[in-house]
Structure 1
């Protein structure tokens, strides 16, 4: 089951409860959970603690940081800013060392300087996010960002290509690190196979010559393909 929202950490604030309570309640169910779209500004130590105690939450957290430059994050109105992002990453790495973090980053936000962009690239390389999606900024009429000075379209495209290349390099090393290891996988009803570290539709698949029934299986990873999908066989 995928728990997904524009910001999952806001769950329950309108009805007098919170995400921690929901996750504790769902622990009583015989169902695996995937948590998507956890705004770093809403992630607390208590939430990470609750996740660490769970036997049902898959080892994958989608935490979209968007950027790491304090100035850009401020212009984006991203609650918590750089300091909170750094704390969240540290909490996850220390308390949930087996978890993969998927993040989203945006390049070309109005006012993004060369220094801001370099800081973002350095950060994703240092943190080594296991899954990274790169997006270009696009103006939305009526949004506050529409009033800010735009980055030239050619520069946005160049930064998008560079960031995508850096992100791919980071993820390639992650995938290579899985070769030779055993992983838990999910065989979907349509026959698509993904590891527990990959969400449907947006992340990598596992390629194999074996036909398997839908559900959870154990796989030995033997390699990767040109698209960074994993290749393996059932145990």
Structure 2
């Protein structure tokens, strides 16, 4: 291969979709930095713009395509030299993208970590290329490259696995990412320790496609509880948070670990997707409403102050008005502290793609609005109960419009998806500071309070 045509080329990253993709983006940038590239903050003016894409649902596909087209326009205007597209969209639609996006200079699938410098070098030399394997290989099992952080300085996502074993009928992730591929416990703990010691990370957010199955492929049984316990022993970490845990895999051992380890947040993200038994069966969720209820009750009984986040889908094929009402009744009953909702996206390649009884979009949208109105009322009840209490808050940033106010989160709030605490403080605060805050007011999803004591990073 010819030498690079320019000295120390610059590369910028646009990372779309979930935190799992964000970790991949940080690793890709780390690899390029290791190879002599300079990482730029902004797309405009960099030599290469990389877009790490998402294709989970139609809205994500549209966002990814729109972002690629914007980067191509920058290239046509002479503001950048090359565009490289990576990730889930490429893995799912390689041939279509190569045909429809001739101005893109390189394509990389979900396991293109080892190919990234070759593709980027060829892109800069005007030699378009693609690296997409039909079946993804085991990605990032033994990471030996420093990630380039795309999160704030005080928290980081820790990806423990790829792929999934569950086979939900609405989901195409196993076809994109393959089956479960866990990283060894010692490799995960080593990376987490480096994040805490070298970057000063205060909060670790543990992610995977299905964290409840972590370890099944390596150790022939789930070992998520053992992993969380090992992470909790890392000196210097203050909060550890677990996301993407299938309710079927919430074991007694995991519950006890969350309860007993002080640094593990009393918070769990676990998608129920629905609460009508027929819908759960058609979704292949492998649980009934009664089993979901029992799991939720066990969590709340065993762990005082437990905050539960879930997600649900409305408009799934065959969802009748009666089935939707059963979902609403269940949500009224259990009152999840945090909830995200989605209208069903009919994805080609999923088992549900050709299911009969597709729900009209207008009905799905109406149900979505009705459900979110209910959750808004539940969330307002939850935040109102916090008024008058004092809680621990991690500071994320200073309010851009008010120098005496800061934005933070309680341990019941994950970054980016949950609520905020607006904090007044006479003393200056920095991202990552853990402070005690007296809550004085509540909003529908957020809290307002005054700092009473500060524990700096």
TM-score bin (small chain): over 0.9
The residue that corresponds to 1:19 in the other structure is 224
Please list, as runs of the form range in 1=range in 2, the aligned pairs for 1:1-235 lying within 5 A after superposition: 1-16=204-219, 18-30=223-235, 31=237, 32-148=239-355, 149-188=357-396, 192-210=407-425, 211-214=428-431, 215-225=433-443, 228-235=445-452
Query: Structure 1, residues 135-193: CA drift from partner, whole Å, max 9, x if none?
Result: 11111012111111211111101101100100111011000011111111111256631
**Shift, 1:79, TM fit:** 2.1
| Aligned 8 A contact 1:41 1:81 in 2 | no
User: What is the rounded CA distance, in whole Å, between the counterparts of 2:290 and 2:248 in structure 1?
Assistant: 10
Residues 397 and 408 in structure 2, CA contact (< 8 A), matched pair in contact too: no
| CA positional deviation for 1:128 | 1.1
Tell me the secondary structure at the aligned position of residue 24 of structure 1: helix
Contact 1:40-1:84 at 8 Å conserved across structures: no
If the length of structure 2 is used for normalisation, what is the TM-score? 0.50
After TM superposition, give the deviation of residue 96 of structure 1 in Å: 0.8
Stretches of structure 1 that go unaligned for 5 or more consecutive residues are none
What is the distance in 1 between the residues matched to 2:228 and 2:422? 32
Distance in 2 separating the partners of 1:83 and 1:6: 25
1:99 and 1:164 mapped to 2: Cα distance?
22
Report how many aligned residue pairs link the two structures. 234
What CA deviation, in whole Å up to 9, does each residue of 1:58-111 have, x standing for no partner? 111111111011100111011223233122101111101211101111111110
SS of equivalent residue, structure 1 residue 232: strand
| CA–CA separation in structure 2 for the residues paired with 1:228 and 1:90 | 23
Over the aligned positions, Cα root-mean-square deviation in angstroms equals 1.5
Following TM superposition, by how much is the alpha carbon of 1:24 offset from its aligned partner in structure 2, in angstroms? 2.1
Deviation of the 1:117 alpha carbon:
0.5
Gaps of 5+ in 2: 1-203, 399-405, 453-457
Q: State which structure, 1 or 2, has the greater radius of gyration over its C-alpha atoms.
A: 2
2:258, 2:265 within 8 Å by CA — same for their partners in 1? no
